[in-house]
């Protein structure tokens, strides 16, 4: 059997060679054994703790708080997190030791420096936050690919769509033809919990009235002459658990309005020629470019259905009322269509300006179609105003154009052809210098060689604000 001195030596060896930071105190809190590595995390040297009690070290603020003092008071194992004067985060665990009579005689405590782990946790938390931010940005970019906009009106509509997408409330999208109602409807579906389920789009103006019921509700086998033998699933049934988008809802026949209202109220339907009630669950989104309130007054649209549909109306403004969106849409479509047809065509500044000022009665759809038409039909790399359809040039015919041509507020007198050509040349150089970063880009923009650009800039250096 070892002597007390030998036991003490073994205990000191275990403590000093341990990878853990260990401290043993007596029943009064005085430090009996400890390894020096324990205290560097508290920022003190051996002379500061040898022979001292944990109560004194607690008073000095070195231990904040002292876990050994807590165990001496509570007489039970305790685990706490400490923050040291040196800024370290320490996880301390302490256990009481009792003699045969149940008296507390020693406290053994362990301290683990958690600073690096805590820093890693903080870094991980920040990284997660960054990832979430990036995901939000990526999602926003994806959404921007579907809906290109810059105006605050469209941003507000996008926010509203995002909020209501989390519900099953019926949404009615209002606006002129071509403003993007169907794109917003799909976006609403994609942001909803139904996004993995079908999105069924129905244009009410394209289905003949005689076929409307069978198309919408489907039919049982043998319901009518020409019907499929196995019957057919209707569009409403196809939208089960998903989203049913009824575009041009104002074109819905009156008898179908009654049946749609019944479906919305009862959540059931019958196929044509069938007797069985089918339960149905879908989110309804509608769109129209008509004034349904006026249609209600005229008796061509049911008031009760109107109230059912007009839960969350969202008015999408026409393109001419959000001109800041026109520029970004032009650039986006130029890029997309150039890529589609492997071309590299650009708009002349005057063409660009005319597109910005255009009324766009067909809205986004008209703009997209026109850009594609211009890229496919123009032979030059620069699309000049002359390539635009005639209605872009105003109502006056070419014969009635004055002797003076206005180009970006610059008056060009065509009585002297050479003078007029020089004025246009200077104007085009000025435009190119604003659009391009180098003479090589200007040459590409103007469709001439780079030396020609340099030569012409020297020619007009005293007349142009070109550096």
pLDDT in tens, 149-199: 888 999 999 999 999 999 999 999 999 999 989 999 999 999 999 999 999
pLDDT at 287: 97
> What's the CA gap between 358 and 380, in Å, rounded?
23
Look at residues 62, 78, 88 and name the one whose alpha carbon lies nearest to residue 110: 78
Mean pLDDT value across residues 224-251: 84
- Position 294 scores a pLDDT of 95
Which DSSP category does 362 fall into?
A: T
Query: To the nearest whole percent, how much of the chain has pLDDT over 70?
Result: 79
Alpha-carbon span 206 to 294, nearest angstrom: 22
* pLDDT in the model for residue 395: 42
Give me the residue label for tokens 């946790």. Answer: 121
Name the helix (H) or strand (E) containing 346: strand 346-347
Q: Mean pLDDT, to the nearest integer, of 32-51?
A: 71
Tokens of 410: 């610059």
**243, 200 contact by CB (below 8 A):** yes
Query: At CA 454, angle to CA 448 and CA 457, rounded to 5?
Result: 105
Please give the pLDDT value at position 227.
53
Structure confidence at residue 124 (pLDDT): 67
pLDDT higher at 13 or 52: 52
Predicted confidence band at 46 (pLDDT cuts at 50, 70, 90)?
Answer: low
DSSP string covering 109-144: EEEEE-HHHHHHHHHHHHHHHHHHHHHHHHHHHHHH
pLDDT value of residue 53: 85
Composition of the chain by helix, strand, coil, percent to 5: 50, 20, 35
pLDDT(316) > 90 = yes
Contacts by 131-140 with C-beta closer than 8 Å and gap 24+? none
What SS3 state is found at 414? coil
Centroid of chain to Cα 70: 52
What's the rounded mean pLDDT across residues 338-355? 88
Torsion sign across C-alpha atoms 448, 453, 459, 460: positive
d(CA 385, CA 355): 9
pLDDT 10s digits, 353-388: 889 888 999 999 999 999 999 999 888 888 888 788
Supply the pTM of this predicted model. Answer: 0.56
Instruction: Say yes or no to pLDDT of 5 above 90.
Output: no
Reduce the DSSP state of residue 216 to 3 states and report it. helix
Task: Specify the pLDDT at position 17.
Answer: 62
Contact 301, 295 (CB under 8 A): yes
Q: How far apart are CA 323 and CA 320, in angstroms?
A: 6
Give the residue ranges of DSSP H helices in 254-387: 254-266, 292-298, 303-309, 323-340, 349-357, 363-377
Q: Are strands 89-98 and 104-113 parallel, antiparallel or unpaired?
A: antiparallel
- DSSP of 69-109, one letter per residue? HHHHHH-S-EEEEEE-TTS-EEEEEEEEEE-TTS-EEEEEE
Q: Does position 414 have pLDDT exceeding 60, yes or no? A: no
In the DSSP assignment, the letter for residue 231 is -
149-157 CB contacts, 8 Å cutoff, 24+ apart: 149/322, 149/325, 149/328, 150/324, 150/325, 150/327, 150/328, 151/322, 151/324, 151/325, 153/317, 153/321, 153/322, 154/317, 154/322, 154/325, 157/184, 157/314, 157/316
What value does the mean pLDDT take over residues 122-126?
Answer: 72
Q: Are 181 and 315 in contact (CB under 8 A)?
A: no
Residue 148 pLDDT exceeds 50: yes
The pLDDT score that the predictor gives to residue 420 is 61
Q: How far is CA 397 from the centre of its chain?
A: 47
SS3 state of residue 367: helix
Distance, in Å, from the CA atom of 72 to the CA atom of 93, rounded to the nearest integer, reads 13
Q: Rounded CA gap, 426 and 320, in Å?
A: 32
Q: At residue 120, does pLDDT exceed 60?
A: yes
* 433: Cα separation from own chain's centroid: 36
Give, in order, the Cα–Cα distances in Å from 183 to each of 108, 135, 166, 207, 325: 68, 21, 17, 21, 16
Distance separating alpha carbons of residues 89 and 111, to the nearest angstrom:
10
User: For residue 145, what pLDDT is reported?
Assistant: 47
Place 208 in a pLDDT band, splitting at 50, 70 and 90. confident
Nearest CA to 274 among 214, 316, 314?
214
- Helix segments in 221-291, DSSP class H: 235-238, 254-266
Arithmetic mean of pLDDT, 16-38 = 78
């Amino acid at each position: 059997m070892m002597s007390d001195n030998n036991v003490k030596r073994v205990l000191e060896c275990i403590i000093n060679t341990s990878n853990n930071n260990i401290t043993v105190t007596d029943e009064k809190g005085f430090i009996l054994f400890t390894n020096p590595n324990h205290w560097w995390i508290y920022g003190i040297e051996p002379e500061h703790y040898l022979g001292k009690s944990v109560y004194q070290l607690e008073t000095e603020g070195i231990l904040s708080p002292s876990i050994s003092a807590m165990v001496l008071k509570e007489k039970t194992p305790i685990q706490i997190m400490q923050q040291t004067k040196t800024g370290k985060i320490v996880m301390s665990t302490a256990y009481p030791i009792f003699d045969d009579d149940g008296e507390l005689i020693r406290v053994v405590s362990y301290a683990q420096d958690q600073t690096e782990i805590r820093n890693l946790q903080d870094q991980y938390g920040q990284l997660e936050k960054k990832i979430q931010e990036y995901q939000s940005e990526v999602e926003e970019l994806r959404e921007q690919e579907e809906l290109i906009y810059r105006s605050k009106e469209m941003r507000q509509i996008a926010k509203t769509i995002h909020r209501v997408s989390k519900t099953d409330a019926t949404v009615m999208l209002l606006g002129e033809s071509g403003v993007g109602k169907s794109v917003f409807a799909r976006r609403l579906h994609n942001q909803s919990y139904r996004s993995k389920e079908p999105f069924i789009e129905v244009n009410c103006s394209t289905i003949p009235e005689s076929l409307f019921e069978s198309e919408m509700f489907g039919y049982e086998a043998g319901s009518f002459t020409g019907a499929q033998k196995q019957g057919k699933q209707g569009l409403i049934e196809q939208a089960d658990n998903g989203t049913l988008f009824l575009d041009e809802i104002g074109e819905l026949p009156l008898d179908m309005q009654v049946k749609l209202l019944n479906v919305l109220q009862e959540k059931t339907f019958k196929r044509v020629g069938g007797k069985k009630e089918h339960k149905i669950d879908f989110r309804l989104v509608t769109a129209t470019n008509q004034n349904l309130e006026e249609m209600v007054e005229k008796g061509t649209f049911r008031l009760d259905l109107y109230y059912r549909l007009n839960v969350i109306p969202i008015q999408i403004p026409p393109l001419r009322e959000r001109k800041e969106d026109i520029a970004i849409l032009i650039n986006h479509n130029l890029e997309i269509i150039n890529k589609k047809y492997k071309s590299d065509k650009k708009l002349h500044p005057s063409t660009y300006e005319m597109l910005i000022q255009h009324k766009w009665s067909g809205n986004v759809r008209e703009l997209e179609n026109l850009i594609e038409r211009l890229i496919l039909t123009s032979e030059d790399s620069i699309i000049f105003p002359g390539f635009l359809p005639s209605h872009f040039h105003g109502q006056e015919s070419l014969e009635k154009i004055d002797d003076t041509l206005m180009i970006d507020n610059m008056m060009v007198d065509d009585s002297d052809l050479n003078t007029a050509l020089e004025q246009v040349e200077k104007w085009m150089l000025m435009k190119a210098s604003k659009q391009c970063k180098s003479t090589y880009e200007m040459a590409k923009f103007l469709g001439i060689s780079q030396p020609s650009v340099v030569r012409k800039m020297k020619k007009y250096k005293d007349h142009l604000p070109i550096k």
